[in-house]
Amino acid sequence: MADCGDDKRDASSAGKTRRRPKIPLPVEQPQPLPIPIANDQPLTEKTTIRLSGEDVEVHVNDLEVIDKLGQGQYGVVEKVRHKNTNCLFALKRVRHSFDTKENERHIREINVQQRTTNCPYAVFFYGALFREGDLMILMELMDLSLDRMYKTAHLADVNKPIPGNVLKHVAYSVLSALDYMYQIKIIHRDVKPSNILTNRRGQFKMCDFGIAGQLVNSFARSEIGSQQYLAPERIDVKRDGSRGYTSVSDVWSFGITMVELANGKYPYEHWKTPFQQINDILNGPTPKLRDDDPRFDPELRDFVGKCLVKNPSERWRFNQLLKHSFLSGCDRPETLESMQEETAVFVKLILDVMEAKKAQQYSG
């Protein structure tokens, strides 16, 4: 079951606007009202959303685990049902740690998600809960990550590469999310296919803000993202003379992600050692789209090329990329609707393939 509703913005009691995400059937269209959480406020076993015009308390005891969606270094993500309303959510469950930096990472993720509530290209945050050592982040439920989507699409018995317009929709959605974050002085720092989610409605949204950084004078300090997607200047800081992470480093990661989604494989695939990996990123040829694929017009090739310039001072910024001819007209409602419809068809196809393969495994 997927969530439903619309993304219209409604006024909250504080007089601010807050976008309205999709909420699961069978409930009516809701107006969620996440409770703000500051670093100095204790988390509890409950939070509050607004459903059909009424405040609804969500308690840990009322959340029933339906399925396990994924597991990573910092915790597990589950599909849960709120028993009192039948609403479906994604719940990220993280075990409390005595490591101060790790705990700060989780609180930072909560705070970043609060600040991106009005961004339609970021997974919606409902609130956070805490119980018996577990920190739980209640989020909008999506259907699929892009790493699983493209890997399924490129299976030999499927052979359904991501269509050009869907790639364009990915690019516009992700850049819009990254630019929104940049405007509120946040950079993601871990852009990769597994951190971009989609759903049956044909939407793309960014997730996993655990290592997102606060910009100070255009730089963010400390943590870095996944090594395979690091920009050259993040591997060799002498390249730009700084010790901070800037927004153009996210542009490089985004470019690598676009090449991976389009070509159906990670562009650096023949490493034998981590040192070879680093050397290839720093000194090897810049990744590019396959020459023999008719899906890739000159505008897309130029667009990706602007992302993957090794010199960070020459690499395009988010706002420049959003104005690139490849994305021309994407901000028009009719264009967005058309891209979303085409994406929904493709996502449904991939989900149907995955469900069929899962059924075959059980029957076999």
Q: List active site positions.
A: 190
CB-based contacts of 35: which residues, under 8 Å, 6+ apart? 47, 48, 127
CA distances from 254 to 38, 85, 170 (A): 30, 38, 10
Q: Tell me the three state secondary structure of residue 61.
A: helix
Give the C-alpha separation, 139 to 82, whole Å: 12
User: Looking at the DSSP assignment, which residues form a beta bridge with residue 137?
Assistant: 92, 128
Q: Which amino acid, one-letter code, is at 313?
A: S
Q: Determine the length of the chain.
A: 364
Give the C-alpha separation, 291 to 219, whole Å: 36
Task: Find out whether 79 is annotated in a ligand binding site.
Answer: no
Helix (H) or strand (E) holding 274: helix 274-283
Provide the sign of the torsion angle of the four alpha carbons 256, 220, 181, 138, taken in this order.
positive
DSSP labels, 290-347: -TT-TT--HHHHHHHHHH--SSTTTSPPHHHHHTSGGGTTTTSHHHHHHHHHHHHHHH
Which residue, 41, 21, 40, 44, is CA-closest to 31?
A: 21
Please name the residue that has the structure tokens 């130029």. 302
Is the distance from CB of 187 to CB of 141 less than 8 angstroms? Answer: no
Pairing mode of beta strands 186-187, 204-206? unpaired
Buried b (16+ CB within 10 A) or exposed e, 109-146: bbbbbbbbbebbbbbbbbbbbbbeeebbbbbbbbbbbb
CA distances from 248 to 156, 214, 255, 261, 363 (A): 35, 15, 10, 20, 48
Q: Binding site for ATP: what residues are annotated?
A: 92
Q: Binding site: what residues are annotated?
A: 92
